[in-house]
Copies of this chain bind each other. A is one copy, B any other.
Amino acid sequence: MKITFKGDYALKAVLDLAMYYDKPQSVDEISKRQDIPYKFLEQILLQLKKGRFVKSLRGRNGGYVLAHKPAQITLGQIVRFVDGPVEPISCAFAAKPSPCNYSGNCVLREVFCDIGKMIAEKVDNITFENLKERQKKNIAKTKKYLDYSI
């Protein structure tokens, strides 16, 4: 798994939409809040729309909303959709891995398959509802800290 800027932006955008669930957010708003280049974000959201993760409302007062409840979208879904398989090497997710020597019993492949499963286990069990809640707590903590320090 390698998360690119694009993948990172996609995750941030989806999390942003989860925080503002069911109220359409424009590309401009998300772009500013999450510090993502406007035109790049535009592309990403169009891609997410094709993947049916978000829905759009065109025209004035338009914007994007999540296509499903935050609890029904997992981190893994978005990562895979934007940045590809979470396995660290292609032979670990290929349907028919190219045969290594020693008749395909490649120990390295076995290890990377294990790691791939570990990663999948993790990312497939984190929903954007989870992330949203954790984000809220972080904000609360930061706020508290600011209250003391000001």
Shortest Cβ distance from A53 into chain B, in angstroms?
16
Stoichiometry (number of copies)? 2
Q: Is the CB of A8 within 8 A of B89?
A: yes
Question: How many residues on the A side are at the interface (Cβ–Cβ under 8 A)?
Answer: 37
Please indicate the chain B residues that have their CB under 8 angstroms from the CB of A12 in the complex.
Answer: 108
Whole-angstrom distance from the CB of A137 to the nearest CB of chain B? 9
Contact B108 A115 (CB under 8 A): no
Cβ of A134 < 8 Å from any Cβ of B?
yes
The docked-state distance in angstroms from the alpha carbon of A112 to that of B103 is 35
Within 8 A of B (CB), among A5-64: 8, 11-12, 15, 33-35
* Interface set of A (CB-CB < 8 Å, partner B): 1-3, 8, 11-12, 15, 33-35, 75, 88-89, 100-103, 105, 107-108, 110-112, 114-115, 118-119, 122-123, 126, 131, 134-135, 138-139, 141-142
